């Protein structure tokens, strides 16, 4: 019988339960996929805690790689027996197998293994849209990237380097900063010990950066605005420290006509062709060697609570996968 992690109430990691489930046949536009590896992402903790509410009981997990076992009517890009991977709604990827909509499930090239795909789909496609589809960025531009030793972060460091973009990272320990630098960042600021705003000003000779990519949220948002050049772009794409407090638009005017956006991956990949293009761009970056996926933590599926605990305690680096 198939196994799936569900929650019946929002709360801490212990609320997750591994249960037996009957997985049916796919309906029109759906597929059934058997998972070989599952990606763990910070968004999973928001679903678990209720920060991003959903109807309960519900499965968790947005990303996995595996083999297509059945294909519903109207699905033409996937066939039974194909290797495939996805980052997609609805949550439910923490499972040995599942039925789900096919539109965001992409064929997996032979030279990308299941573990790398499970680790790279959500975080890699996020980096792709941040660097190519959110604001114009060209070689020589400077980006401040918070939590640069994390899953999205280590991919961003390497991606920036491969595009000639100067990335100043932040991270919570000196050890994490070493990893950030080893992955291509030009500088890394330990923002637990050092005032990152003052340091960014110093590193940019008082000018500030062109773009901030901020997945930390509440704790860094206003400091991030202070790091921008006039006309700079604030990309607030996550809330690991909590939601950004509401603020007045004058905060943008007084700092020099700043721009701000709050994007999500799921808008960018809603269209099937766009999803395929973004995924293939990520596979190309991995294949070329420009981006190496760091799977720094692996857990069996039944140890998912420990995986969440470590992620929220800031004790992970790079990507984390669950093995069914």
Joined together, the tokens standing for residue 198 give 């003052």
What's the rounded Cα separation, in Å, for the pair 25 and 147? 41
Chain residues 244-283 in contact with ligand NDP, contact rule CB under 6 A: 263-265
Select the span of 137-145, 224-232, 238-246, 271-279 touching ligand NDP (CB under 6 A): 238-246
Select the span of 30-38, 98-106, 276-284, 308-316 touching ligand NDP (CB under 6 A): 308-316
Cβ neighbours for 295, distance < 8 A, ≥ 6 positions apart: 115, 116, 119, 318, 319, 320, 321
Smallest distance from the beta carbon of 162 to ligand NDP, in angstroms? 19
Closer to ligand NDP by Cβ: residue 96 or 236: 236
What's the rounded Cα separation, in Å, for the pair 44 and 47? 5
**Applying CB under 6 A, does 237 fall inside the site for ligand NDP?**
yes
The candidate with the shortest Cα–Cα distance to 60, out of 39, 30, 35, is: 39
Closer to ligand NDP by Cβ: residue 91 or 215: 215
Question: Of these, 85, 240, 305, 321, which contacts ligand NDP (CB under 6 A)?
Answer: 240
What number of other Cβ atoms are within 10 A of residue 219's Cβ? 16
Backbone conformation region of residue 306, classed left if phi is above 0, alpha if psi is from -120 to 50, else beta: alpha
**Applying CB under 6 A, does 236 fall inside the site for ligand NDP?**
no
What x/- string results for residues 130 through 149 when contact with ligand NDP is judged by CB under 6 A?
-----------------x-x
Smallest distance from the beta carbon of 65 to ligand NDP, in angstroms? 17
Measuring CA to CA, how many Å separate 249 from each of 26, 159, 252? Answer: 47, 32, 6
Question: Of these, 36, 42, 68, 167, which contacts ligand NDP (CB under 6 A)?
Answer: 42
Question: Of these, 4, 15, 96, 126, which contacts ligand NDP (CB under 6 A)?
Answer: 126
């Amino acid at each position: 019988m198939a196994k799936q992690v569900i929650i019946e109430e929002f709360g801490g990691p212990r609320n997750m339960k591994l249960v037996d489930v009957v997985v049916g046949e796919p309906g029109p536009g759906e597929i059934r996929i058997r998972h070989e590896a599952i990606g763990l992402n910070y968004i999973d903790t928001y679903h678990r805690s209720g920060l991003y509410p959903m109807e309960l009981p519900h499965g968790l997990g947005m990303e996995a790689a595996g083999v297509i076992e059945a294909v519903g009517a109207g699905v033409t890009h996937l066939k039974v027996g194909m290797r495939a991977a996805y980052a997609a709604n609805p949550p439910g990827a923490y499972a040995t197998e599942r039925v789900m909509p096919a539109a965001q499930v992409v064929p997996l090239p032979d030279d990308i293994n299941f573990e790398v795909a499970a680790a790279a789909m959500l975080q890699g496609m996020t980096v792709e849209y941040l660097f190519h589809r959110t604001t114009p960025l060209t070689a020589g531009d400077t980006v401040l990237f918070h939590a640069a030793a994390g899953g999205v972060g280590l991919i961003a460091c390497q991606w920036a380097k491969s595009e000639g973009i100067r990335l100043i990272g932040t991270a919570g320990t000196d050890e994490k900063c070493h990893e950030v630098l080893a992955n291509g960042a030009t500088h890394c600021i330990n923002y637990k010990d050092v005032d990152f705003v003052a340091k960014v000003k110093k590193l940019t000779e008082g000018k500030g950066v062109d773009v901030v990519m901020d997945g930390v949220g509440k704790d860094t948002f206003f400091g991030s605005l202070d790091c921008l050049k006039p006309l700079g772009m604030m990309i607030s794409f996550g809330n690991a420290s909590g939601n950004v407090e509401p603020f007045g638009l004058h905060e943008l005017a007084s700092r020099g006509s700043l721009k701000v956006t709050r994007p999500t991956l799921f808008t960018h990949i809603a269209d099937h062709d766009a999803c395929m293009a973004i995924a293939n761009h990520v596979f190309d970056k991995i294949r070329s060697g420009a981006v190496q996926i760091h799977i720094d933590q692996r857990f069996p599926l039944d140890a998912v609570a420990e995986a969440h605990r470590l992620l929220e305690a800031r004790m992970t680096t790079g990507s984390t996968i669950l093995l069914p």
